[in-house]
Amino acid sequence: MKFGVVIFPGSNCDHDTTYLLDNTLGQEVVELWHKDHDLQNCDFIILPGGFSFGDYLRSGAIARFSPIMREVIAFAEKGGYVLGICNGFQILCEAGLLPGALLHNPTRKFICTNSCLKVQTADTIITSQVNPDRPLRIPVAHGEGSYYARPEILQQLNSNDQVLFRYCDTQGNFTPESNPNGSVENIAGICNQGRNVFGMMPHPERAADPALGNQDGLAVFQSILHGHDLVQS
């Protein structure tokens, strides 16, 4: 499977992502510069975390206009798979590929800590192999990670089974205390109606190596490979 990792000025999780895909999972991966106009026939595009363009204006607001985003949008509109992690999630919302917005954390402080997530649907290529009964321990690192959407959008997300993950405690309970950034309904990740564009604030690529003492995030990427193998077979 061929992955493309888009790099914007200020991206800082691109190497984490390429290392995981290449060294850990043995997949073909190419780095795509934000000024590129060619996705190089990739099967799956990832917008990594970081601080694109310094997070000026709003996080992701400038990156959304990078030349390569025209290609990413066209790719997604044709059914191509796109995953945005943290800043990548913000960019996808700014680009209109995902509904809602990521607001400042209520504390107005940057949050860098482990969070617990519980998968909410197995009906996507990134969650099919994630155990729905066991909370995942995945780190978050953001200043604007509070997911917000209007009530009618939330209703659509829930009705269409588009919520991927919710923040929870270690027992899997959805509580205000387990919500690190005040996201509405504890939402940590969503997908579009076509189920080919995904966004999540926590960083699974930072929890996918034994050297880090945590491999909970590996299930997300194993799901992608499993889903691709099913399509190919």
Query: Which whole number is the average pLDDT over 169-178?
Result: 97
Residue 114's φ and ψ, nearest 5 degrees, are: -80, 140
Burial class of residue 140 (count of CB atoms within 10 Å of its CB; 0-12, 13-18, 19+) = buried
Residue 165's φ and ψ, nearest 5 degrees, are: -140, 150
| Region label for 226, one of left (φ > 0), alpha (ψ between -120 and 50) or beta (otherwise) | alpha
Residue pLDDT, tens place only, 44-70: 999 999 999 999 888 999 999 999 999
Which residues does the annotation mark as catalytic? 86, 203, 205
**What single letter denotes the amino acid at residue 97?**
L
Cβ atoms 118, 97 nearer than 8 A: no
N-terminal to C-terminal alpha carbon distance within the chain: 13
Q: 199 - beta bridge partners?
A: 84, 190
Cβ atoms 92, 197 nearer than 8 A: yes
Query: Which whole number is the average pLDDT over 72-90?
Result: 98
Q: Residue 43's pLDDT band (boundaries 50, 70, 90)?
A: very high
Q: Residue 153's pLDDT band (boundaries 50, 70, 90)?
A: very high
- What integer pLDDT is reported at residue 233 of this predicted model? 53
- What integer pLDDT is reported at residue 52 of this predicted model? 96
Q: Where do the DSSP E strands lie in 63-121?
A: 81-85, 101-103, 111-119
Does the domain at residues 2-232 carry the CATH identifier 3.30.460.10?
no
The CA distance from 57 to 94, in Å, is: 12
The CA distance from 106 to 132, in Å, is: 29
The CA distance from 164 to 185, in Å, is: 12
- What integer pLDDT is reported at residue 229 of this predicted model? 66
Q: What percent of the chain has pLDDT over 90?
A: 94
Give the torsion through C-alpha atoms of 50, 20, 190, 46, to 10 deg: 60
The CA distance from 191 to 189, in Å, is: 7
Domain parsing of the chain, residue ranges: 2-232
Cβ atoms 29, 21 nearer than 8 A: yes
